[in-house]
Every structure is written in structure tokens, then in C-alpha cells.
Structure 1
Amino acid sequence: MPTPILVKLLLQAALATLLMLMLWIGLDASLPGTVWSVMTISKSALTVEYCEFNHPQRFFHQPINTYSNLAYFFFGILILLIARHDYRNRVNRQANRLADFPLLSVLMGSCFVYLSIGSAFFHASLTYVGQRVDMNATYSILITLLGITLYHLVYRIRLSRLQQRLWVAALVAVIGLFLPLALLVPSSRLVPALILLLNAGMVMHFVQFRAQRSIGLVLLSLTLVVLAIYIRTLDVQKVGCDPYSFFQGHALWHLLTALSSFCSYWFFRFTKRRPPQLG
């Protein structure tokens, strides 16, 4: 795919994100904060976990932390558009292993959108259910990226279309299993463990295909997520905290983790020899 077509996909994703922003603005302006009052408040709200001020009268209790989730939405739509391209252009499918498995990109893009909506739901409502959905959506991205990594590490194995569907179904099942698992293992341990496992797998795949993969993307992805964790920690500890500021540390966490996750996807989906080609 020529670069102009990739730019077209970026513009389409940006347009979809703009439309979603307009929808969210409309919801925040027209619905009262009391909509969430029938739901159980999260521990995060009770302990004032994040710096941003809670506006209980607004539909979006934490507006900046809510709107910043559009970063996940943008990348999710972009990946779904790439998946659609892969479905329509399978002539060159042998050139890229992920291009030959567009359903896996569909799952990846869907997880980004899931996190966008799930995290927005949590920061808008500050409810227990929202917090659970937010955390599960976070795990869904990591699990899917690990699934993509494993699929590439066993590169000698070619999956049939049926086997591809079964692999995606298995990943969805694992994502579902993480709903109860998240209650047993603290996210402060599980999330870093999954991140380290993901980056270790990416390094292993880079060793397998040095000519095609970029170690720079691995380092960039890891750097972005480490920086995101650092900023989130400062936000939780209220270091340099201004509850009424337009700039919120947790909102930056959303942007950086979205970029980091997309870098991981980019590492597998695009080759180094002909960037930014698909297939």
C-alpha cells in the first residue's frame, strides 16, 4: 500500500475520532451526573486516587481523564481500517504474517476501542463496574499483543482460516478469564509482568528477523510505557498536582500507553525494509 493510502486511513481514523468527541461532548452537556448515582462508587473515587477534581454534577465526573481516552479510540479505528485493507488485499499476504491474519488485527483494534469506552466509562462515572471494565480492557490489549507475539514466534506454523478463528476465540476467552483473575492478583504486579513478557517476546522475534523488524520500535514502546507508569505514579501520589488544570498526569498516561501499544502492533504489522508498507 502506498503512503498516500496510509495517510488516507489516518485521516479516516481522525474523522471517526472527531465524531466520537462530538458525541461525548453532547452526552456530557446534556446528561446530569446523577445518572451514575444508582451504581456503586469505586474505591478509586473514595480514596481520591487521581489528581483531577471530581465534578459530581457533571456526566463526566473527571472530564480530562475521560476525553483523553479518545487516544485509544483513534488507534483502535486505525487498526480496524488496516484490518479491512488486509481483508481486501490478500494477494501479497505471504509477505507479512500479520497481514495474512486480519482477524487478529480486528481483535487488536477492537480491544483499543474497548479500552477507550471502558476507561471513559470509569472516569466519567467513577463506579466499581466502570473500574472493573477499565481494568479488563487494559488486560485485553496486553493479552492480544501477547497473542500476536506468540503467533510470530512460532513463525514456522501456518494457521488455516479455521485455526485463526480458534486462536482469536481463545484470546477472547483468556480476556474473559481475566475478569475474575484481576480480583485475585494486584494490577501493580500483573500489568508490569505482562509488559515485560511482551517486550521479551518482541526482542526474541527481532533476533529471529533482524532484517525485517526494528529494535527501535521495541525500545520506543518500552520507553513510552515506563514513562507512562512513572507519570501515573506521580499523579497518584499527587506530586505537582493541580486538580483543576487542563493537563492531568493520568490523561497523559492514556496517551503514552496508547502510543506504546500501537508501537508494539506496528512492530509486527509493518516491515523495516519497505516502511510504511502493508503486506
Structure 2
Amino acid sequence: MPRALAPPLPEGCPWSGWTPPNVDWCEQELCAVVVNPANTWSNLLYVGVGIWMWREARRLGRRDLAAFGPAGILVGAFSLVYHASYTYFFQFFDFVGMFVFCFLPFSLNARRLGWVAPGREPVVHAGGTLAFSGAVPVLFELGIPIQGLVAVAIAAVVAQVLRLRAGARARDAYSAFWAALALLLAAAVCSALDVTRIACDPTHPWLQGHAAWHLLSAASLYALFGFYRGLGPPAA
């Protein structure tokens, strides 16, 4: 199966010599250093949320939440450079950033479910991030949508939380997780409407469906952090 690539940039543009990504979002490509402005600058909300999470974890003295902030900042930074460049090279790092964040709740849930011993969460986190990141170039060469990896990681976290909730006494504490999931689903709908051109205005300077994905999913990270903050630190 041949690689699925977005249309290349015209010759002479700043990023025209690079391999394009595997998806063509609605926003028009500019012959400029920042190829997709709306999809680029909307990532700044991830950075803002990441800074807030980092400061909040420090204020609370929560070591289990310490990596949320840096991971959120990484998501925003990698996605910003990817959308600015319109290249597969930086798209790879965009996925790495998402995996870095996705496997944080996965590793925390694994600890709470008793799947791993206390202190082994970083091993689970690193293993999941490396495995999924390593699958990106393989799927890219096969022409298989890489975005499915993110869906698998998210589905795994949801399955874990459902197991945690089944054995929980205070189920009201899970409302923040459902809010995070609802925001993420709304973000996915906006992104799907964008890439399928169902709702698409390529020339609009800021109203883009994939930019809405960035904004809504950044809000989802905020709610997800609130969920784990509300659960309290895991038992020693």
C-alpha cells in the first residue's frame, strides 16, 4: 500500500523540500514559514494549560501529577511546529507528544489497578510511548492512518477508568473524567468535519475545525488533570 500524503507545497516555499504529512486539513497552505496559521497558533492553549498544570502540581506537592504540565507543554510545542511546517518529519513528533501525554494517565491507572508495583509507572509510561512512537513510521510507510494509534491509546485509558469506577465507592469523583471525555469527543467531531470537508472554509483566518480540536482537547487535558487531582495520590 503506497504512503498516503497530503498535497506537496509549491516549489520555492520554505518547507517545499520536505515530505508532506499524511493528512490534509481544511485550512489552506500558505507559502510561508507558518503554513497553516490557525492550526498552528491554536496550540498555544496546550502550552497555557500545561504551565497551569505544572504550577498546580507543584503547589499541591503532588508527585503523581508532576509530569502532566511538561507533557501538556510538549503536546503544544510539537503540534505547533508540525502545523507551522506542514511536514511529516514534525508530524512524527506531534504524535510523540500525544503519546507522551496519553500514557501518563495510562501508567497512573495501571498503578491504581494493581497492574504494576509502586514506582514502576515511569517504566509503563516509557514503554508505551516508545512502542507507539515506533509504530508511527511503520504505519506511515504502509499508508495506514497513524491517527488510529491515538484512538487506541485513548480507548485503553477509558477502559481502565471504567474498571476503576466499577470498584470505586465515590463515583461522583469521576464526573471530571466524563467531562474530559465529552470535550475530547467534541474535539474529534470538529476535526472529522474539518478533514472530510463537511464544514470547511479554507481561507478563514481562525475558524478551522482542526484548530477547534486543539482548543477543545486542551480543555480536555485541563479536566483530566482535575480528575486525577480529585482522586488524590495513589496509596503507597
Smaller-chain TM-score bracket: 0.7 to 0.9
Shift of 1:261: 2.8
- Computing the radius of gyration from Cα coordinates, the structure with the larger value is 1
Partner of 1:53: 28
User: Can you give the 5+ residue segments of structure 2 that lack an aligned partner in the other structure?
Assistant: 1-12, 140-144
- Structure-1 separation of matches of 2:159 and 2:128: 20
Closer, same or farther: CA 207–168 of 1 in aligned 2, 3 Å? same
Shift of 1:201: 1.5
Is the aligned partner of 1:192 residue 2:166? no
CA contact (8 A) 1:213 1:268 kept: no
Partner of 2:132: 178
- Structure-2 separation of matches of 1:233 and 1:260: 17
Is the aligned partner of 1:138 residue 2:79? no
Alignment equivalent of 2:76, drawn from 76, 99, 116? 116
Partner of 1:96: none
Q: TM-score by structure 2 length? A: 0.80
- Structure-2 separation of matches of 1:158 and 1:184: 32
Is the aligned partner of 1:40 residue 2:18? yes
Partner of 1:276: none
Q: TM-score by structure 1 length? A: 0.69
After superposition, the C-alpha distances for 1:172-209 in whole angstroms (9 at most, x for unaligned) are: 34323322212335434322222222112222223333
The within-5 A match list for 1:96-115 is: 99=62, 102=63, 104-115=64-75
Sequence identity (%): 25
- Structure-2 separation of matches of 1:154 and 1:264: 21
Is the aligned partner of 1:208 residue 2:167? yes
Equivalent pairs counted in the alignment come to 214
Partner of 1:16: none
- Structure-1 separation of matches of 2:231 and 2:148: 33
User: Can you give the 5+ residue segments of structure 1 that lack an aligned partner in the other structure?
Assistant: 1-32, 88-98, 273-279
The within-5 A match list for 1:1-279 is: 34=14, 36-37=15-16, 40-44=18-22, 49-57=24-32, 59-87=33-61, 99=62, 102=63, 104-154=64-114, 159=118, 163=119, 167-185=121-139, 186-211=145-170, 213-245=172-204, 246-271=206-231
- Structure-2 separation of matches of 1:188 and 1:105: 26
CA contact (8 A) 1:71 1:255 kept: yes
- Structure-2 separation of matches of 1:215 and 1:84: 23
SS in 2 for 1:270: helix
Closer, same or farther: CA 148–271 of 1 in aligned 2, 3 Å? closer
CA contact (8 A) 2:108 2:121 kept: no
Letter in 2 for 1:184: V
Shift of 1:73: 0.7
Partner of 1:26: none
- Structure-2 separation of matches of 1:216 and 1:167: 24
Partner of 1:19: none
- Structure-2 separation of matches of 1:259 and 1:268: 15
- Structure-2 separation of matches of 1:236 and 1:228: 12
Shift of 1:212: 6.7
- Structure-2 separation of matches of 1:271 and 1:177: 28
Partner of 1:18: none
Letter in 2 for 1:117: A
Greater helix share, 1 or 2? 1
After superposition, the C-alpha distances for 1:46-76 in whole angstroms (9 at most, x for unaligned) are: x6x111111112x211111111101211111
